Structure formats: C-alpha cells, structure tokens
Amino acid sequence: MAKKIVLDQAKCTGLGICESLSPAYFEVNEDGDMVQLLQIEVAEGDLQEVQEACDGCPNEAIRLEEV
C-alpha cells in the first residue's frame, strides 16, 4: 500500500530532525520555522527511513498515511 507524508503545520517548529534522517523528503525552510516536504508520496524502499523521521519528531508533527 502506497503511503504519503502528512505534515501538521501547527505543530512543526522547524527543529529539523526529520531532515537529518530523511533529506530527500524533508527540508527546513530558510526562515527556519517550518519543514517543507520535498516529496509527499513515499517510495516503498524509503518507508523505514521516513517512518524513523516521523518517530524522531519531538512535536509529533509528521506522520505516514495510506494514500
């Protein structure tokens, strides 16, 4: 089942741990206050890495959902 990333902008503060774990999908914006998603749909082979990025968010601002 394909999965996509859901970002809760109200929770994200741009800490950026996700970017350090999965830079193909996440990047902190230039203002430093929010992460931007570089891709929404997650390739099968990247699922574990993106899940770790979700688990690594102290604000629980990102999660994977089935498309």
- Which residue has tokens 């230039």? 30
- Residue 55 binds another protein (CB under 8 A): yes
Site for another protein contains 36 (CB under 8 A): no
Q: Is 23 in the site for another protein (CB under 8 A)?
A: yes
Say whether residue 61 binds another protein (CB under 8 A). no
Residue 8's closest CA among 48, 43, 37?
Answer: 37
Phi and psi torsions of 6, nearest 5°: -115, 125
**Can you name the residues that pair with 63 across neighbouring β-strands?**
6
Residue 40 Cβ vs another protein, minimum distance, rounded to whole Å:
20
Which spans of this chain sit near another protein (rule: CB under 8 A)? 14-17, 19-20, 23, 28-33, 55-56, 58
